[in-house]
Amino acid sequence: MKNILFDLDGTISNSKDGITKCVQYALRSFDIYEDNLNKLEAFIGPPLVDSFMKYYNFSETEAKEATTKYRQRYSEIGVHEAEIYPNVEKCLIKLKNENFFIGLASSKPENFCKTVLADFNIIQYFDDIAGATLDGKISSKKDVLEEVFLRNNNLKKEDSLLIGDTVYDVLGAKYAGISCIGVSYGFGNVEEMKKAGAIAVIDDILELIDLLKSL
Instruction: Return the active site residues.
Output: 7
Element (H, E) at 83: strand 83-84
Q: How far apart are the first and last CA of the chain?
A: 7
Residue 97 half-sphere exposure, CB side, CA atoms within 13 Å? 7
DSSP string for residues in 105-124: EEEEEHHHHHHHHHHTT-GG
- Residue 189: Cβ within 10 Å count: 15
Q: Is the distance from CB of 172 to CB of 142 less than 8 angstroms? A: yes
Rounded-to-integer distance, Cα 205 and Cα 209, Å? 8
> Rounded CA gap, 183 and 90, in Å?
16
Distance CA 74, CA 87 (A): 26
Helix ranges restricted to H, the chain: 16-28, 48-56, 60-76, 88-97, 110-119, 141-151, 167-176, 190-196, 207-213
Which residue, 139, 203, 187, 202, is CA-closest to 14? 187
